[in-house]
């Protein structure tokens, strides 16, 4: 049995489903907001588009990590976590920059804080993927 | 407390939200027990999909009759998502009945629960 088949079933499937869902949710949200009312909150809407792109990259990173190639995921998940923390903090400190919420505003409160939990869950899963020393 | 349903479309949506919540809980219970995904869970998911398809057709019919939702573009997005998410999720675990495949079903069922609520919120 190949490595990819051995790892086919596992927690990464749930992570992949969540990432795919957030690509859809963040991407559709950003597309609708930028297409219909881009001038209202350009920073927030652009950040939602950035979040969608990050989730797409995160999905790819976890898919690669599930077959043993963990390099991209070990960078991408930290980038995602940094994005959530930075945007979440900015949305609390600089309210004027966010007349409307972005996906990562208030650490993802609009999505039940899943955006804040997701990279942490991904990093914990990634840690469990490392072969024992 | 949510408002009482006013139309048949509202009633279908409320039933869909409740049933989607039940499927979510059932899928979560199977995931937590770490047992292979039972066929009955698949059946429950496909019944939910039929319910959501009926809701989508009824919603489209209402819109074609001139009853436009308050947030049109968002509502159509949720309408499309409500019928697409479950088939895509089930396809991704079609040849895998392992315990984690129920986790994927949990995520998808929870997503359509939220989508069904948002459908109602963007309607008026």
| Close Cβ partners of B79 (under 8 Å, ≥ 6 residues apart) | B56, B59, B60, B119
**Can you list the alpha helix ranges (DSSP code H) found in A38-70?**
42-65
**Would residue B13 count as lying in a domain?**
yes
DSSP B7: S
In whole angstroms, what is the distance from residue A14 CA to residue B92 CA? Answer: 11
**Would residue B87 count as lying in a domain?**
yes
Secondary structure class of A100 (helix, strand, coil): coil
**Would residue B2 count as lying in a domain?**
no
pLDDT of residue B54: 95
**Would residue B1 count as lying in a domain?**
no
pLDDT digits (tens, 9 = 90+) for A104-114: 999 999 899 99
Average pLDDT, integer, range A64-85: 93
Specify the number of domains making up chain B: 1
Q: Kind and range of the H or E element at A133?
A: none
Return averaged pLDDT per consecutive 10 residues of chain B, 124 residues in all: 74 95 96 94 97 94 87 88 95 91 96 94 84
Tally A–B CB contacts below 8 A.
Answer: 45
- Give the whole-number percent of chain A exceeding pLDDT 70: 92
pLDDT over threshold 60, residue A2: no
In whole angstroms, what is the distance from residue A93 CA to residue A83 CA? Answer: 15
**Would residue B3 count as lying in a domain?**
no
pLDDT over threshold 60, residue A3: no
Query: CB distance B107–A36 less than 8 Å?
Result: no
The domain in which residue B54 lies consists of 8-121
For residues A77, A79, A83, A84, the Cα torsion angle rounded to the nearest 10 degrees is: 20
**Would residue B14 count as lying in a domain?**
yes
Please state the ipTM of this predicted complex. 0.84
Q: Is A74 exposed, middle or buried (0-12, 13-18, 19+ CB in 10 A)?
A: middle
**Would residue B82 count as lying in a domain?**
yes
Query: For residue B77, which residues of chain A lie inside 8 Å, CB to CB?
Result: 28, 32
B85-114 residues touching A, CB cutoff 8 A: 85, 88-89, 92-93, 96, 98-101, 103-104, 106-108, 111
Taking only Cα atoms into account, the Rg of chain B, rounded to an integer number of angstroms, comes to 15
Q: Does residue B28 belong to the interface with chain A, where contact is any CB pair within 8 Å?
A: no
**Are B39 and B121 spatial neighbours (Cβ–Cβ below 8 Å)?**
no
pLDDT digits (tens, 9 = 90+) for A31-60: 988 888 888 888 889 999 999 999 999 999
pLDDT digits (tens, 9 = 90+) for A84-102: 999 999 999 988 888 888 8
Cβ-nearest to B107 among A8, A17, A28:
A17
In whole angstroms, what is the distance from residue B43 CA to residue B9 CA? Answer: 24
DSSP B97: -
DSSP A130: S
pLDDT of residue A129: 83
Q: Which of B42, B82, B116, B88 is nearest to A20 (CA)?
A: B88
Q: Kind and range of the H or E element at B93?
A: none
pLDDT of residue B3: 66
Q: How far is CA A26 from the centre of its chain?
A: 9
pLDDT of residue B4: 65
In whole angstroms, what is the distance from residue B109 CA to residue A16 CA? Answer: 15
Distance from CA of A16 to the nearest CA of B (A): 8
pLDDT of residue B5: 67
Average pLDDT, integer, range A126-130: 86
Average pLDDT, integer, range A79-86: 96
**Would residue B41 count as lying in a domain?**
yes
């Amino acid at each position: 049995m190949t490595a990819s088949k051995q790892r086919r079933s596992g927690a990464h499937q749930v992570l992949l489903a969540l990432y795919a869902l957030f690509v859809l949710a963040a991407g559709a949200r950003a597309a609708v907001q930028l297409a219909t009312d881009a001038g209202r909150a350009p920073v927030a809407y652009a950040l939602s588009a950035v979040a969608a792109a990050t989730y797409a990259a995160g999905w790819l990173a976890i898919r690669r990590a599930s077959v043993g190639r963990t390099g991209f995921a070990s960078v991408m998940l930290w980038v995602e976590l940094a994005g959530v923390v930075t945007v979440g903090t900015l949305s609390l400190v600089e309210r004027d920059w966010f007349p409307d919420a972005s996906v990562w505003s208030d650490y993802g409160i609009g999505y039940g804080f899943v955006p804040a939990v997701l990279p942490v869950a991904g990093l914990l899963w990634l840690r469990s993927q490392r072969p024992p020393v | 407390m949510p408002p009482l349903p006013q139309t048949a479309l509202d009633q279908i949506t409320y039933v869909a939200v409740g049933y989607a919540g039940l499927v979510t809980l059932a899928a979560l219970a199977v995931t937590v027990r770490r047992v292979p995904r039972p066929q009955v869970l698949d059946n429950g998911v496909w019944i939910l999909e039929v319910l959501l398809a009926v809701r989508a057709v009824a919603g489209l019919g209402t819109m074609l009759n001139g009853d436009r939702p308050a947030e049109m573009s968002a509502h159509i997005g949720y309408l499309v998502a409500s019928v697409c998410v479950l088939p895509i999720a089930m396809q991704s675990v079609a040849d895998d009945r392992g315990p984690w495949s129920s986790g994927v079903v949990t995520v998808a069922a929870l997503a359509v629960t939220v989508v069904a609520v948002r459908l109602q919120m963007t309607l008026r």
